[in-house]
Amino acid sequence: MTISHRTIGTGAHKVLVLHDWFGTSAAWGQFLDHLDPDAFGYAFLDYRGYGDRREVAGEFTLAEIAADALALADQLGWDTFSLVGHSMGGKAAQRVLAEAPRRVRRLVGVTPVPASAYSLEGDAYDLFHGAAQSPANRRAILDLVTGHRACGRWLDAMTARSVAGSRPEAFASYLAEWTTQDFAAKVAGSSLPVKVFVGEHDLALTAEAMRGTWLAHYPQADLEVLANSGHYPMYEIPVAFATALEAFLRA
């Protein structure tokens, strides 16, 4: 099976990019305009049930994302590559690392979900688990994770893009996966260079949460708190984020 994808750049340093629960391979905003196409070759994968692969059948699991990511790397002829994962994509990227640790050069988590379980309780459980069928829930989540700072026009557009870009059953299944799966033991202690970015206004995946998970799992991990950003630095601070990301990848 040929895996459709988007690419930017032809540089020698190959980078596989995994999107968030709401997004697709196309949903990275102006950030894409600021990437260095001569130093890096980026490939952006859509998960099954999302984006250009919205109608592709699947089980909609993290293991399936990892398998497709590795199949895409094989398809592109990439023996080694760095991984960038946003939010749920950060957990999926760690699953790729667990499956093929020798192929990964560097790992970047962008406001990322940890490899351990991420439990939701009470109102948060209802809000997130109702989001597959309720656009209003999706909008409320977007407002929450950007610190109640984003304009209504942006929240409406992101909500509409999420609804159009994903199948409800895939959306619901991936939620169950990223909140309950725990494979931290498979990656803990890795000496891989790791960078973790969080937005100072993200009310969900905070710096404190990263210190208890990502930084505890990876001895070489470094945490950077992005000023004037919430959960979506690729939209909120695209130039600063692209600069910071590639500074780590070049190191």
Write down the domain spans for the chain: 5-250
Cβ atoms of 58 and 49 within 8 Å: the answer is: yes
**In this predicted structure, what is the pLDDT of residue 42?**
98
**In this predicted structure, what is the pLDDT of residue 216?**
97
Question: Residue 163's closest CA among 145, 125, 137?
Answer: 137
Residues with pLDDT less than 70, the chain: none
Q: How many C-beta neighbours within 10 Å does residue 121 have?
A: 7
Question: Residue 146's closest CA among 157, 40, 244?
Answer: 157
- Separation between Cα atoms, residue 206 and residue 192, nearest integer Å: 22
**In this predicted structure, what is the pLDDT of residue 1?**
78
**In this predicted structure, what is the pLDDT of residue 142?**
98
Mean pLDDT of all residues in the chain?
97
Task: Indicate whether this model's pTM tops 0.85.
Answer: yes
Q: What's the per-residue H, E or C state across 72-113?
A: HHHHHCCCCEEEEEECHHHHHHHHHHHHCHHHEEEEEEECCC
Can you tell me whether residue 227 is helix, strand or coil? coil
Q: Does domain 5-250 have CATH number 3.40.50.980?
A: no
Cβ atoms of 11 and 247 within 8 Å: the answer is: no
**In this predicted structure, what is the pLDDT of residue 72?**
98
β-partners of residue 166 are 50
How far from the centroid of its chain's Cα atoms is residue 50's Cα?
A: 14
